[in-house]
Amino acid sequence: MSTFNAPKGIPEYYPPDSAGFVAVRETLAEAVRRAGYGYIELPLFEDTALFARGVGESTDVVSKEMYTFADQGGRSITLRPEGTAGVIRSVIEHGLDRGQLPLKLYYSGAFFRYERPQAGRYRQLQQLGVEAIGVDDPALDAEVIAIADEGYRRLGITGHRIELTSLGDSSCRPEYRSRLQEFLRGLPLDEETRQRAELNPLRVLDDKRPEVREMVADAPLMADHLSAAAKDHYEQVKAHLNDLGVPFTENPWLVRGLDYYTKTTFEFVHDGLGAQSGIGGGGRYDGLMAELGGAELSGVGFGLGLDRTLLACQVEGVTPGDPARCDVYCVPLGETAKRRLVETAGQLRRSGVRVEVAYGGKGLKGAMKAADRSGARVALVLGDRDLASGTAQLKELAGGQQRTVGLDSVVDEARAELGR
C-alpha cells in the first residue's frame, strides 16, 4: 500500500502549535484593522501575465519561481507568488478606487514560490499584507511601517529591526540605473552576473558572494542620487517614523526582489533566524496601477511572512495565543452522568465558555490526565454519588482544590470559578 507525503517545502500547522500560527495571524490582523484596513479575499491563482507585468519579468520570482500551468481551457494560470499585483488588479476591475482615498485593504493567506526549501524558506508561504492606494503622502508610508512594527510588538517580539531606504522615482531612477550599469560594466563579472547587470542592475548589489560584494562596495547608490522630490519624501518618512517612536536603520544597499517599488522601501529583519531573516517587507509602488491598466494612482504596502514570524516567536521564547483547548473539562463517570454533563457542556458553551467532555467511557484517572493535557483550568466531575445528592465536583486543575457544587447551579459555579 502506498502512503502519501505533503509536497516538499510546505509547512503544516497542527495542534497544539497551530494555535501559535493563528495567534500570529490574528494579532497582526488586529494591528492593521486598528488603522482602518478592510479585508479583501482574492483568488489563489491569476492570469500569468498579471505577475509578469506587475512583478517584473526579470525578477527571480517571475523568471524562476512561479507555479505556472495551463488550465483545462488552455489559459496560462499562475499560483499567486505575492499579493500586491492581485490587489491592484481587483481594485481596477471593480473600480474600488472610485471611493474615498486612500483605499486601505488587507489580506492574508497562502502564496507560492518554487524556491529551494530550507529552514524558513517554503514553497507555500503565508503572508498578511496591506495595500494603501491613492495617496502619495510620506506620513502614510510611515503609518504602514509603524503598524507592522506595532503588530510584532503586540506578539511580544523585540528582536527585529527595520531597514529602510528610498529607491527613487521615475525622474531619478532611470538615470541612476544607467550610472550603476556603467559602473558594473567596468567590473570583471562572470557571464551570468553580467547579464543580470543588463537586465536588473540593482539585483547585483544584492549578490551574496563575497567576491561580488567586494567588487560592488564602491558602486553608486540610489540614496545618493535621489531627485529633490524623492529626497524630500524620504526625509519626511524618516521624520514621521521618529515622531512615531519607530526605530529604523538606513540601508542604502537594500534591494527588494520585486520590480514595482519606488521611493520608500523597507524590510523587517530578525537576526535570530539565520539566512532567511526577512520576516516582512514592503514599500511604495507608484507606477504599478497605471502599468496594470488602471488610473495613475500611487500605493504603499507590506507583506509580513507569517511562517517566519512564528519562527521568530519561537526563537525569542514567545508563545503567541492561548495553547489551552478549553476552559472546562467535563468528566462523567457512568451513562447517567454523561447525559447530564453533555447537556451542561452545551449550556456552558452557549454562555461563551470553552468546554470539552471525556467521551468513550474513560475512567477517572485517564479522564483527569486528558483534562490536564487539554489545558483546561477546571474539571467538572460527576459520579453516581454526586448524582444521588444533586451535586458535582469542581476541581481547579493547577492547584488541585476541589469543591462540591449544586448540580442545578453548576453553570454559574463553573463560570464563577473562571472569574466570569
Q: In what order do the strands lie in the sheet with 299-305?
A: 38-39, 103-112, 124-133, 299-305, 278-284, 262-270, 160-166, 249-250
C-alpha cell at 208: 551574496
Q: Using CB under 6 A, count the residues that bind ligand HAM.
A: 26
Q: Is 203 annotated as a binding residue?
A: no
My answer on whether omega of the bond before 7 falls inside 30° of 0, hence cis, is: no
C-alpha triplet 340, 342, 344: angle, nearest 5°: 70
- Examine residue 308 and tell whether it contacts ligand HAM (CB under 6 A): yes
By Cβ distance, which residue is nearest to ligand HAM? 305
Question: Counting contacts by CB under 6 A, is residue 37 touching ligand HAM?
Answer: no
Tell whether residue 54 is a contact of ligand HAM (CB under 6 A). Answer: no
Nearer to ligand HAM, 82 or 136 (CB): 82
Pairing of strands 38-39, 378-382: unpaired
The answer to the question of residue 264 lying near ligand HAM (CB under 6 A) is: no
The stretch among 171-179, 275-283, 343-351, 360-368 that binds ligand HAM (CB under 6 A) is 275-283
Q: Is 66 in the site for ligand HAM (CB under 6 A)?
A: no
Q: Does 155 bind ligand HAM (CB under 6 A)?
A: no
Q: Does 329 carry a binding-site annotation? A: no
Residue 136: closest CA among 290, 293, 285, 303: 285
The nearest distance, CB 357 to ligand HAM, in angstroms, is 39
**Nearest approach, Cβ of 44 to ligand HAM (angstroms)?**
14
Three-state secondary structure call for residue 127: strand
Task: Confirm or reject binding of residue 168 to ligand HAM (CB under 6 A).
Answer: no
Tell me the three cell numbers of residue 391: 451535586
Helices 410-417 + 335-350 axis angle, to 10 = 60
| Contacting residue, 37, 51, 122, 234, with ligand HAM by CB under 6 A | 122
Q: Which of 125, 357, 371, 378 binds ligand HAM (CB under 6 A)?
A: 125
Q: Binding of ligand HAM at residue 151 (CB under 6 A)?
A: no
Backbone φ and ψ of 107, nearest 5°: -150, 160
CB of 17 to ligand HAM, least distance (A): 16
DSSP 248: -
102 binds ligand HAM (CB under 6 A): no
- 245: phi > 0 → left, psi -120 to 50 → alpha, else beta; which? left
Q: Which is nearer to ligand HAM, 44 or 324 (CB)?
A: 44
Cβ proximity to ligand HAM, 263 vs 395, nearer residue:
263
Q: Give φ, ψ of 308 to 5 degrees.
A: -70, -30
The answer to whether 260 is annotated as binding is yes
Q: Which residue, 102 or 282, is less far from ligand HAM as judged by CB?
A: 282
CB 258 within 8 A of CB 281: no
- Nearer to ligand HAM by Cβ, of 280 and 375: the residue is 280
How far lies 204's CA from each of 175, 213, 380, 407, in Å? Answer: 17, 9, 64, 73
| Binding-site residues from annotation for L-histidine | 82-84, 113, 127, 131, 256, 260-261
**Binding footprint of ligand HAM on the chain (CB under 6 A):** 82-84, 113, 115, 120-122, 125, 127, 129, 131, 257-258, 278-283, 301-303, 305, 307-308
| Binding-site residues from annotation | 82-84, 113, 127, 131, 256, 260-261
